Structure 1
């Protein structure tokens, strides 16, 4: 549009070009870019001709006074809301010709679209929500060429949308203010007529409105009454039936969810050995006829609205629960002293309650008398009931006795029960293996079997025995497991009985004893240091290692002839006596009642100082180790040193014996466990018995003090505990200490000699 002078005619030459003198020809955009390629709406508000920065509501002012904006920007998110109703004819309801349905009409200013919705009413019986979707609606015929505009909607008017007449009765505050500013007068709100159909439903006789099941506030009840329990004491008299007795019960009523739990209180007349739950926690019905069918206690009902003939069917939840059977349960009002409750056919009488229950009923129900009732006579009171052990059928020989007995106790196959407390107490703990190892030989009529060597291990954790054979070189017998680990039954007892067989115990394991395992007879001839030491520590369990019991037995036998015994066996020069000499004298006095294990216990209690030369010194052990490393092609001292240094972050140069053993085993040195133990015994140690790992590295270095290779030996046998048993046997016993422990000086009637007095005093 070009500017012109109104006094001049609108002819060429009388108009002016508005572009004269203008240097910027770009348009004022309403959109701009924020970032790289991200479009966004930018509102650049400029002062109008009146100096105002506001460009909103352009329809209120005369055209040209403000800058014009598109309606979808000017009226964005501005909606006119009207309340209206329409009548719907009801032909099937007698007494209600129509019903009134309330709706809301929304007019969107930005594009002139209309939407009609009906607010949802609970239990209305009709589908509610959006009646007319948002779109532009045409006027009724014959004005259907035009659409409804803002001026067509106002309070008191009637509009027709698709054949339905809507009466507008009210509008919201924004709509009223907007129409008034536009110059449109809005009348006062109108009253919506009453719905005759709803009035008919609210009456008592013709139609009663039904509602669905209302859920109880279980959470609120739980938070209010949690940990609050009413405790009653009752009884169930079952003495008239066979094996019946007077059941004393404890009834617990949980206020949080109205459930009941019943426990039985043990009495002397009760045959039960432990308390048990008489009734698990649940709601207790007042009337019990039979067990409920599956799904009878379900809280909701499912209806098949299409029948079973159609494939798949159509199932919905029944909100009215038409077929639901109401079950009455016991409530706190039904429980009081003297009441009788039906617990699934058993009549339980309440005769007393605890103080909290009395206080609860006193505060809530105003009760103040809680006198307990007398219990009926207990006919079994004072009658001593003998406990009978379960008698199992005799063992048939299949499987172990424990496994067969477990299958007889329960139908469900289960593993036999172990003594778990004993297992935890006597299982391996660090260096304590709780395994007693004995050296044994086989007693047989075959001469070759008598030369075979065995190691019998007794496991204290489960009283099982394992036998391992150490085969000697060129004997024809290999080193292998001779008998697997299991319990060994004592010989000479009946096998196919209902009682469990007696097995070997740890008290049967002693040097000089015999064991019969699978018809093989073994004689125990020695034991390792751990077995001797363990039995001496727990001497109250092992009489053969109890020095007090052994010396007491010898004291009783020697009391009449003690003078002759001392005079005959007293050494003339030294204060020691040979092991074999004292053993033969004690056997002559005690006979078969004296065993080899008891003699070993005496020698360990009164040892004479004897210097035993090492069977293998450090040099010989190093030669054996270097020979084994050479045969295994191992030469990785750098890696071994690296692992030792990594284990020693403080750079002290020492490690514990366990850590050194772990490092050697972790580096996969081709050495047996026995030779590693011997190596760690000869390594240099500090005051705390820690090992210098630099000495271990030098021990495996062939360049330091080179040694020749040695002939192959049986390392498992030569360096095992059996070799130590055979080698380290104390040959001498301290005679003076032995006599001092006997303490029989009062048997002398005449003054003893000086040598005798010196021996009787013993070493200080």
Structure 2
């Protein structure tokens, strides 16, 4: 029986003393020992008295019938499962007139894992009381005289009143999980109960309506606009044409509109050396009115307006604030008034907007859909026209022949002698970078009336960094400098002039060109592989190395008599042509418009030279087995274990780096170059993963035994530079050349075209029968339309 009536306030004189009639005031023992010393370790157990029905509520859960308790502990079965109930309690208010109590809503949590209860009160703004955790999580006992037992799930349900530490709570609702859980346990859950009206809250709302009267805003709150558009500025470009006035000029302006506070700032872009101060502020930041009638008087710019409701005849008057701001008739420019080709009035000056920046364009496109406005035109600046007409090009005196032209011109420009300025950007672009020297080297011979000079050999180097040339003579003792590095002037120019002389450029340098250096005439006969490759890579700068331009020119020449050309040049057996045969024919057809460099470009693009390998798979395997036998290596089983260890998924494939690491880790008595050469002939898939089973068979001497070979110099013979580069261009692929010409459609206009086409198909079939031949790879990327059989490392023919 509850000794406290919940309807009475918990004050002295209004409650009953629970200690009346008690004779024992000691604290009962809550724990007891279970188990005997003979059974093992003793443990503490909480002592719980049976309830009025004689059941021990803590020993047997109320969810299950007796004898059907789960073997799992409750903290594991009901982990993170909580029952949630909505409740309220009444708090008595003694000093509040008109409100004897107030309703306080709480949430009761019942944790199934340990039977603990927690009570929280949701926070309400301006409630006047401390809210949050109302009762910490703990096990709560029944009120006396049932205080020996604790609350369980059967004691919590909608409509019930529970007492926690002398405070009564009435449960009115629960969540979906709690309702489902209790229903599955056989506990009927009633419908939710509505929350009673809170008289204290109702009284506060009435007082608030009576006390708080609506007043006009004295200030406008612009914090929301500031937070949304802070640091967002619309930038326009425009002008103010003031050229019609005396001493007026065209003002190029930059207009900034600040979205955070609707202010405008205008800056004037002043050119350098214009006689005006740079960074000039045309209009300081502020709101720009659309029409200016004069200076504002005192109070005109106030954020609110006063209204005299009684008129001027009454003494003292009666003034109130204008809540609608009808007295403010000032109109300022907004973002909607600004766009390309619009005109704004800046205190009598007409400013025309001509363009905007990308952010402003995207802003107006998203908000107003204005994204197709073309930029406006700027009027002609008369002052710049006068300046351009008044400036004249500086005329230097004629060169006197002493020193270089640049040095003499620099001394004429300044009184103090200074070194001529050089193109530093060009130097950085064409300076040596790794393997790129940016030096074009050509072999040349001298044209002279003296026969001995014609037999001399020269090397002409053209330096792209500063357009200088150096000539070196090749002799028995090495080479010696014939012409020091310097710029070379084109022949046939006047010497003593004011204009700078024309010099040799990289476009003048090609095989077959004639160069005049200090009255010595040289003919370029050949070029190194770097020079040819560099010109082909940069074919847009060097027309003599542009395959597309060359073949277009050849196609135009061969189109009228292409049938006779094919009949004469078609090979008999193999689908290749010698270089000299095609060269002689093209030179006869093209005439003087065809150079040796262009022919070399064609031969390099359609080269059919074959490279015969020095070491195939069988020979490399024989050399490898011989080396393993010499050093008595026979640890194939461990090598297999290492491969399987690196391949846990048993795919049978590993990368080249992993295979190389395993072979070196197993201490194979092979050189690094030998291991790399061996991996080159191992089988691999399309993903470049190597088959390590093939490596094991390659090293197993019991599989296809091979005879021992004569020891060789492994480090030299397996070195990548020991094999000479193939000389490309000696043989030309006839089928690839014709395929690139693409003139087969011209046969239809000629008689007997089917026979010629049949012959071409027969040659292509013969090429297929020969099979795949390994050729060198071309380093250059000639063009997107170049044939598929380009070569990497080639030399000139």
**TMscore range, shorter length:** 0.3 to 0.5
> Which has the larger Rg?
1
Greater relative contact order (Cα 8 A, min sep 6): structure 1 or 2? 2
